[in-house]
Amino acid sequence: MSDRPLSFEIYRESSRTKARRGRLRLRHGIVDTPIFMPVGTQAAVKSLDPRDLAEIQARIILSNAYHLMIRPGSKQVAARGGLHRFMRYDGNILTDSGGFQVFSLKELRRLSDDGVEFRSHLDGSLFKMTPESLVEVQEDLGPDIAMMLDECPPAQAPHDEVAIAVERTTRWAKRNVAARRREDMAWFGIVQGGLFEDLRQGHAEAMRELPFDGFAVGGVSVGENTEEITRIVKFTAPLLPRDKPRYLMGVGTPGDLVRGVAAGIDMFDCVMPTRNARNGQLFTSNGRIVIKNAEHRESEQPVDAQCSCYTCRTFSRAYLRHLYTAGEVGYHRLATLHNLSFYLNLMAKIRSELDMDTFDAERMLREMGPAAE
């Protein structure tokens, strides 16, 4: 690998769609794209350990700088050798800055051009988050890829409100660039603009001028419907530099991933597979199942006969239902292993089809049927 913290190669483009087959080279190894990143918000993918992540071949995961800043504190992590050493994970890590928390915790924060002042969701203590302080926090954590601080307006915000957020995000991006000190971390810029194509285009043009290693499409998992997400992603992705990775933040269902790949997106993350696992919803090739339902009480079937994950190779639906209804914590691990395997296997299938230039998003969605949603 070169001295650059990130290199990205596109070696095949679909003849039917805007999909790209690529390869990321990062400090902690190669990541083939398109890829889904399991979410490990607080330096852990809930219920899993690094051996489990190796089992499902998770080459890159996501953690959240906002949460780690509050607990245990970025200085604590830095004192223990950084995030990789702290959590004993030897794959790649992307840290989200906390822009979504600026949106989701609006009752606890005060927003200004300088940054965000907010009360901790844990104990009410006062914190201030600026573009510069988030650079310092993430440089303490030492991920392979770090995200800039952005303002993420709600889905139905009016044009003038979204325009203010876009302008503020651009100013924060410039401050992010000026504040960086470490040269071994890649940084991604974030394009906002809500549901407004003129704002998306203007913001993409402004962000392209700044020295980021990749770009994300933000603000498309904050209340939009499927049609709105699809429209904005299809419009925005081609506006981003062709030779840099494109990341769609916080999206989504298996069908969203297929549609995102077709639009030219390379990277995805979403809490859906881990959250749904804990809540008893398991993804299968025939659609989602609710494991607590009585129909699974005596079933000797695996969760999904087409899945080769540890859970499906080893346990029956009846046993998983028993663990869930009994409140056994082991259920969470087995269910999470399966749901993440489903997502990662979907991405592997997409990559295989791109390798052979047979990827057809509409055909894949038809074949998936209920499994797409």
The helix/strand/coil state of 109 is: strand
Chain length of the chain: 373
Residue of 96, 140, 144, 360 marked catalytic: 96
Structure letter (DSSP) for residue 293: S
Catalytic residue among 140, 269, 304, 360: 269
Alpha-carbon span 61 to 52, nearest angstrom: 12
Residue 152 Cα distances to 48, 106, 125, 127, 341, angstroms: 30, 11, 23, 19, 30
| Cis status, amide bond into 252, omega within 30 of 0 | yes
Helices 361-368 and 254-263, axial angle in degrees (round to 10):
170
Output b/e per residue, 15-28; b: 16+ Cβ within 10 A: eebebbbbbbbbbe
End-to-end alpha carbon distance in the chain? 38
DSSP letter assigned to residue 141 = H
Cα(342)–Cα(307) distance, rounded to whole angstroms? 7
R_g over Cα of the chain: 20
> Which residues neighbour 54 within 8 Å (Cβ) at sequence distance 6 or greater?
91
Tell me how many degrees the CA angle 11-201-235 measures, rounded to the nearest 5.
Answer: 55
Q: How far is CA 10 from CA 13, 24, 207, 232, in A?
A: 8, 9, 21, 23
Residue 215: enclosing H or E segment and its boundaries?
A: strand 214-217
Contacts of 12 (CB under 8 A, 6+ apart): 20, 21, 354, 355, 357
Examine the residue annotation and report whether 269 is marked as an active-site residue of this protein: yes
243 an active-site residue? no
Catalytic center residues: 96, 269
